[in-house]
Amino acid sequence: MPTAYSYIRFSSEKQAKGDSIRRQSDMARQYIEANPTLELELDTALKLTDEGLSAYKGVAQKKGSLGAFIRLVEDGKIEKGSFLLVESLDRLSRQTPRIAFTLLNTLIDEGIVVVTLNDGKAYTKEVLDSDNGMSLIFAIMLMSRAHEESAIKADRVSKAWRQKMIRVADGVQLTRRVPFWINKEDRTKALPERVAIVKKIFQLSAEGMGRQRITAKLNQEGVSPPTTLATKWGVSSVKKVLKSEAVLGVLTTADGVKHVDYYPSVISEKLWTKTRFQGVSSKATRDNHNVHPLSGLCVCSVCGATATRSGKTGRIRKDGTRNLWRTLVCANAVGNRSACGYQSISYESIVSAVLSALSEVARRI
């Protein structure tokens, strides 16, 4: 009995609030029910949903669950003959026809049957190699149209943003999307209760506390997270605050121009400068594993999310030292955003294996 995987993708916040997920999910179930002779069993373990990821720039294919699925297929962890159900070809990719077709062909060459639910068409090796190439030409035409639509939209958006950026110099508010400590309706006003949180983060950092400990402290004290979509603070949110020049009142637009005094300054230059050196600080608050050679290179084999370092320390010995255990774990699992489960692996073991493999390669050269 072949397994059917339903892939759902949408790129905008507006689609997230609408009917996109339900519609695409229903279409997958309806296809299975309408084709009983295929004896398809819908997979529910692997979450194949890319929310807010663009197919025009290839983000979903590189960092999203689609990319994770492709890697599982190439690694032989998805059986040949399995079905991938998508609403239409543009859900897979809106890149250039050549790149989009390469993605489709990769899946098909690996024995995956790709079904577009809007027209019920199944793409296989046999289909693309038959009918004098008409199915192949049809697929490329659809991909070409999808790419052209996205390119036109991107150009319009780009021009609109360029006009907005020009108006920023005249004091016009660029967008209602502002840092969480700034008033959305009037970017010249800060929110005192939120500013207090920002100052607390910077002060803790200036005192030598690392981002993970700051995050833990904020959550332990029940400090409201920066967005209503989150239930608690994350390390990435703390990092974003500490890196943001908006605390100094600066807005850097996409064209690279820095607009001074666009926001009210909420942090002193002295405190800002002091926190710039926390990346290489004392042994009392940090360990020497902060920057590691595999950063960003390890991903979860189930959902495709980046593997993040975790770990714990033992009790302090009489000589002042303590044991340190470092592990890698799926970032989504840490935030309880994935069904892949919290399964850690020794970080030192991974590094040792990589170094051993590199040594072997170097020996053979």
Helix (H, G, I), strand (E, B) or coil at 73: helix
Residue 348 and residue 32: Cα distance in Å, rounded? Answer: 45
Tens digit of pLDDT for each residue in 304-320? 777 777 766 656 655 55
Is residue 365 scored above 70 in pLDDT? Answer: no
Tell me the percentage of the chain whose pLDDT exceeds 90: 40
Domain boundaries, the chain: 3-149, 192-280, 307-364
Nearest to 275 by CA among 241, 246, 250: 241
Q: Structure pTM?
A: 0.48
> Which whole-number Å values give the CA distances from 293 to 7, 130, 280, 363, in the listed order?
33, 48, 16, 21
pLDDT classification of 364: cutoffs 50, 70, 90: confident
What is the rounded CA–CA span in Å between residue 30 and residue 249? 53
pLDDT at residue 323, rounded to an integer: 63
Question: Do 192-280 and 3-149 have the same topology in CATH?
Answer: no
In CATH, the architecture of 3-149 is 3-Layer(aba) Sandwich (3.40)
Q: Is the pLDDT of residue 144 over 70?
A: yes
- Check: CATH 1.10.287.180 for 192-280? no
Q: pLDDT tens-digit profile of 225-251? A: 998 888 899 998 999 999 999 999 988
